[in-house]
Amino acid sequence: MWIDAITDFEPETRLVAVKNVSLSEEHIHDHFPEEHGLRAMPLMPNSLIVEGMAQTAGILVGSVNRFREKVVLAKITRASIEHDVIPGRTIRYTALLEQHDAAGAATSGSIEMLDHATGQWSGIGRVDLVFSHIDQNMSGMEFPEHNFVFSDNFRNILHAAGLEDLCD
């Protein structure tokens, strides 16, 4: 999971989630380790920041039909991250639903980072995504009946946010 909590939810419109980046996360140490005489510079990989936005936006898209459809990321239409995120920082993802129909959905998203010293959020990036409802795919492929993209971790995050009623 690349989000820790949902902090705001407007059905069919907007979802906000946060991620606290911690030095205890193993992937932080691999990006970038000490080598060639240079000291280690642990950072949250940008690919995982994009994944955090995909999880945030995916929950918003899935919630429209109460998670009855399997929603998968189909395309990243825009991804721009302008600042490094180091351990001890908090990231805030804001996903907006731009378009939704039987085939899928489009979202726009902003990423902010909290400066704990000042208490101010500053924008560090944008990620716009397209999702597909794979139950409505035209390939003729069959998928399992259970929603394999909706894990217990997602249920726990929804429950903690008071949104467990979305999980029929």
Residues belonging to the active site: 31
CB count, 10 Å around CB of 100?
Answer: 17
Cα–Cα distance between 87 and 25 in angstroms, integer? 9
Cα–Cα distance between 71 and 100 in angstroms, integer? 12
Both tokens assigned to 158: 């929804």
The residue among 14, 20, 5, 35 whose CA lies nearest residue 107 is 14
